[in-house]
Amino acid sequence: MASNSGAGHKPTRGILKKSGSDKKIESNARNPRKLPQWMQNGAIKKTLPTFSIPSSCSIVYSFNANDCAVVCNEFLKSLRGPCHIGFDIEWPVTYEHGKQGRTAVIQFCHIPDEVCFVFHVSCMNSIPKPLREVIERVDVLKVGVNVEGDIQKLCRDFDLIFPQSGFVDLGSFANERLMSNERWSLAGLVKFLLNCDLPKVDSIRKGSWHLYPLTEQQLHYAALDAIASVKIYNQILCRSQLQFTS
Ligand code: ZN
C-alpha cells in the first residue's frame, strides 16, 4: 500500500489557493429549542462563502522521511513556549467490514508561521522522530474535531505512546465555552462560527490517500481541514473571552 517512489527526492513545496466545491453539512440540532444568538445568526444565511485557504498561508507537502524530519525539527526549534496547531489525518477507505486503512496523511497548521504541513506518511517507512515529537508533546496542543480519536488511531497504526493530554476536541470545546449542546462536525463549526461553507467532496474524502503523489485537490482538502480547525479554535477562544468581558 505504501509508496516509496518519493524517496530521495526533494518534496514539492508550494502555495495552493484554490477552493473546492460546496456540499453543505448541517449541524446536528435535534431538539426544537431556542438556540444561542451566535448560532441563530449562522442559521439564517442561506448561501455562505466557501471557506478557503488564506493567500498568505503556504502548504508544505512532504513525502520523504528526511525532509519531514527537517521541517518538523525547524518547527519545534522555532517554538518559544506552548502553542496550538490545527491537526488532522487522512486514510484511504477500505470497503471491508470492520477494517480501516492505515493513516496515510498527517497534516497540521500553525497560524503564526502561516504554514500548513501535509506529511504523506504512507510514503515513509515510519513516522520520523521529530513528527512523533510534535504528536507526543503536550505543550504542542493539537486541536481538531475528534482529535483524540485521530491520535489514538495514529498510536495504533504507528506504535506511538498515547499522550494523555495535549489535544482539544473542538466539538466539546465549543459546547463548553459557548454553552451549546451539539454534536459538531468540522463543517458545522465552520458554518456557525466562521459563517463559511467548508467543502466536503466525498470522492476526495474517500480517495486513495495512500497513493503518491497527492493530487492538488487532495492537498487542498487536507490543508483546509487543518486550517479550519485552528481558526475555529481561535474563534472559540475569542468569542468566549468576549462573553466574559461584555
Ligand atoms: Zn480531514
CA of residue 80 to ligand 1 center, whole Å:
28
Residue 218: what residue type? Q
CA of residue 224 to ligand 1 center, whole Å:
8
The mean pLDDT value for 167-194 works out to 96
Share of the chain above pLDDT 70, in %: 80
CA of residue 88 to ligand 1 center, whole Å:
5
The mean pLDDT value for 24-43 works out to 54
CA of residue 223 to ligand 1 center, whole Å:
8
How many residues are there in the chain? 246
The mean pLDDT value for 95-120 works out to 94
Any bridge partners for residue 86, and if so which?
109, 143
Q: Quote the radius of gyration of the chain (alpha carbons, Å).
A: 18
Cα 90 from Cα 106, distance rounded (Å): 7
Which comes out higher in pLDDT, residue 240 or 209? 209
CA of residue 245 to ligand 1 center, whole Å:
34
CA of residue 145 to ligand 1 center, whole Å:
9
CA of residue 12 to ligand 1 center, whole Å:
21
Residue 107 has pLDDT above 60, yes or no: yes
In terms of pTM, does the model score above 0.75? yes
Q: What is the pLDDT of residue 12?
A: 41
What DSSP designation does 209 have? T
CA of residue 246 to ligand 1 center, whole Å:
35
The mean pLDDT value for 208-224 works out to 97
CA of residue 111 to ligand 1 center, whole Å:
17
Give the list of residues 6+ apart from residue 25 with CB closer than 8 angstroms, or none: 185, 187, 188, 191, 198, 200
Residue 241: what residue type? Q
Domains and CATH numbers, the chain: 13-22+50-169+208-230 (3.30.420.10)
Interhelix angle 216-245/186-194, rounded to 10 degrees, is 50
Count other Cβ atoms within 10 Å, centred on residue 230. Answer: 23
pLDDT tens, position by position, 73-102: 999 999 999 999 999 999 999 888 888 899
Cα 53 from Cα 32, distance rounded (Å): 34
CA of residue 238 to ligand 1 center, whole Å:
24
The mean pLDDT value for 145-159 works out to 96
**72 and 20 in contact (C-beta within 8 Å)?**
no
pLDDT tens, position by position, 41-58: 555 557 899 999 999 999
CA of residue 5 to ligand 1 center, whole Å:
24
Share of the chain above pLDDT 90, in %: 73
Give the list of residues 6+ apart from residue 41 with CB closer than 8 angstroms, or none: 195
C-alpha cell at 189: 463549526
CA of residue 244 to ligand 1 center, whole Å:
32
Q: What is the pLDDT of residue 96?
A: 85
The mean pLDDT value for 146-153 works out to 97
Q: What is the pLDDT of residue 194?
A: 96
Residue 151 has pLDDT above 80, yes or no: yes
CA of residue 166 to ligand 1 center, whole Å:
19
Q: What is the pLDDT of residue 67?
A: 97
Q: What is the pLDDT of residue 11?
A: 39
CA of residue 34 to ligand 1 center, whole Å:
31
